[in-house]
């Protein structure tokens, strides 16, 4: 079925098949049914009937074109300059086309996974979608992601990106002392994400509410990339402190710190300064669990809202650090969000993922006029009791809708 003599080499066709998994092979019909039926939202959005597929047919000659048009239930597109038509047809008709010598290829149309927005369980659990439905977007708030950077051209984040500042430069070359692999991303800016972690946190706090990927707790706050951690996910105390100081200098509303380590007086000084400048500082409690009285720094500093992590059963995540400094809990196990790798998505776990849920909610409150201190108390006053001890969850589980004054009883 694949021609070699009409400008499309077999190699490039196979390469395309590998990249998109969209070409029908010899057993393509079964695969087509499985794959396209696997995403019913996508099929519904196209209005496809059962047993019907939308395909691109590359033809070799006008006879091939006529064959494709004849097989079509509906012609979706005829191209002017390339020998391709996009049609809807039955699986049976597809089979006939695949075996036609005048047809170069039959390819399933569409990027199924990119056409529907997923509501990640954590966003749902903290009822951020209730806030969205009531018109709360976080617009006007400035949220700094103090991390490994943010993917500057991620389609689910780009519209919300504000400033970027690098205290360690983006660099996707080479390996890592601590063994991690840099992200497959291009450093368009020195604050671009070469790791994935910062982009993941950014998406949790504030991914765009659109027709693709995920949605954040805030959806229209301005995200600022403050890159203090390198491609391997590590940064010096001085770089971290410089990033926190910078956020204080900017007077931004929220600083999200999904990072941790031992106590550092320099970072403590930076945290105190940023707090004095009005920044709502949020930190990951740490992943040393199960453990008691083990909250890491900077989360353990009194200026920082320390966030522990829960799973989708409202239990404490087994890795979550606990202690008297924990002020609130948020979802952190198996969180789906944006990554820098090819502008994609991935599932990560950690108190790093819990932290930006709270940062996004803090952004919502700051956008609605809550002061630094009122934001902190409001988050805690409206947190939901999920039956965990106070050193495990502080005031309870984040409830973004309740914090904003909405009924969140849907959960």
Partner 1 sequence: MTLQSSVTATVGADRVEFEYTVENVGNDPEDLQFRSGLKADFAVLDGDVEVWRASYGRMFTQALQTETLPAGDSRTFPGAWEDPDPGTYTVVAELNTTGPDAEARTDFSV
Task: Indicate if 147 belongs to the active site.
Answer: yes
Q: How far apart are CA 226 and CA 150, in angstroms?
A: 8
Cis peptide before 379 (omega within 30 of 0): no
* Catalytic residue of the set 352, 357, 393, 399: 352
Query: x/- contact string, 178-197, with partner 1 (CB under 8 A)?
Result: xxx--------------x-x
DSSP state of 256: E
CA dihedral over 398, 400, 402, 403, signed as positive or negative: positive
219 part of the interface to partner 1, by CB under 8 A: no
Q: Which is nearer to partner 1, 231 or 275 (CB)?
A: 231
Asked if 255 and 279 touch (Cβ cutoff 8 Å), the reply is yes
305 part of the interface to partner 1, by CB under 8 A: no
Only one of the segments 4-12, 57-65, 346-354, 392-400 lies at the binding site for partner 1 (rule: CB under 8 A); that segment is 346-354
Q: Minimum distance from CB of 234 to partner 1 (Å)?
A: 5
262 part of the interface to partner 1, by CB under 8 A: yes
Q: Minimum distance from CB of 179 to partner 1 (Å)?
A: 5
Angstrom distances, CA of residue 295 to CA of 197, 269, 306: 20, 18, 8
272 part of the interface to partner 1, by CB under 8 A: no
204 part of the interface to partner 1, by CB under 8 A: no
Angle at 256 between CA 251 and CA 262, to 5 degrees: 110
Q: Minimum distance from CB of 348 to partner 1 (Å)?
A: 5
Task: Name 281's bridge partners.
Answer: 255, 304
* Catalytic residue of the set 147, 192, 206, 253: 147
Please give the backbone phi and psi of residue 85, each rounded to the nearest 5 degrees, phi first: -125, 145
Asked if 161 and 152 touch (Cβ cutoff 8 Å), the reply is yes
Closest CA to 132 of 364, 357, 374: 364
From the CB of residue 310, how many other CB atoms can be counted at a distance below 10 Å?
A: 28
Pick out residues in 31-60 that bind partner 1 (CB under 8 A).
none
The correct pick among 128, 271, 279, 284 for binding partner 1 (CB under 8 A) is 284
Pick out residues in 130-149 that bind partner 1 (CB under 8 A).
147-148
Using CB under 8 A, list all residues that contact partner 1: 147-148, 177-180, 195, 197, 200, 228-229, 232-237, 240, 258-262, 264, 267, 284, 286-288, 296, 318-319, 348-353, 355
């Amino acid at each position: 079925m694949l021609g070699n003599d009409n400008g499309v080499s077999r190699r490039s066709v196979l390469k395309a098949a590998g990249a998109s998994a969209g070409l029908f092979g010899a057993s393509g019909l079964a695969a087509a049914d499985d794959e396209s039926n696997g995403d019913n939202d996508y099929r519904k959005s196209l209005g496809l009937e059962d047993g019907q597929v939308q395909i691109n047919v590359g033809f070799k000659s006008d006879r091939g074109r006529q064959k494709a048009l004849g097989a079509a239930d509906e012609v979706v597109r005829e191209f002017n300059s390339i020998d391709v038509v996009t049609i809807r047809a039955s699986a049976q008709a597809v089979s006939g086309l695949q075996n036609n010598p005048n047809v170069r290829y039959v390819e399933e149309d569409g990027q199924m996974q990119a056409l529907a927005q997923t509501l990640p369980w954590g966003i749902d659990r903290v009822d951020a979608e209730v806030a969205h439905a009531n018109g709360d977007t976080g617009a006007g708030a400035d949220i700094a992601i103090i991390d490994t950077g943010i993917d500057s051209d991620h389609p689910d984040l780009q519209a919300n990106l504000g400033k970027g500042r690098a205290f360690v430069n983006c660099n996707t070359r080479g390996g890592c002392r601590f063994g991690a692999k840099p992200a497959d991303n291009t450093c368009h800016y020195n604050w671009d994400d070469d790791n994935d972690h910062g982009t993941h946190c950014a998406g949790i706090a504030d991914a765009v509410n659109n027709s693709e990927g995920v949605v954040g707790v805030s959806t229209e706050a301005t995200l600022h990339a403050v890159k203090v951690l390198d491609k391997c996910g590590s940064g010096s105390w001085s770089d971290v402190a410089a990033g926190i100081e910078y956020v204080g200098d900017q007077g931004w509303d929220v600083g999200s710190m999904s990072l941790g380590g031992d106590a550092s007086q320099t970072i403590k000084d930076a945290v105190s300064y940023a707090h004095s400048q009005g920044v709502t500082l949020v930190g990951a409690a740490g992943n040393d669990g199960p453990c008691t009285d083990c909250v890491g720094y900077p989360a353990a500093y009194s200026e920082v809202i320390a966030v522990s992590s829960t799973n989708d059963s409202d239990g404490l995540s087994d890795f979550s650090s606990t202690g008297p400094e924990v002020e609130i809990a948020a979802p952190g196990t198996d969180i789906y969000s944006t990554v820098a790798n090819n502008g994609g998505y991935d599932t990560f776990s950690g108190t790093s993922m819990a932290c930006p849920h709270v940062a996004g909610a803090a952004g919502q409150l700051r956008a609605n006029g809550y002061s630094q201190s009122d934001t902190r108390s409001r988050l805690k006053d409206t947190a939901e009791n999920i039956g965990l001890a106070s050193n495990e969850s502080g005031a309870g589980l984040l409830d973004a809708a309740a914090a904003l004054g909405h009924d969140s009883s849907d959960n």
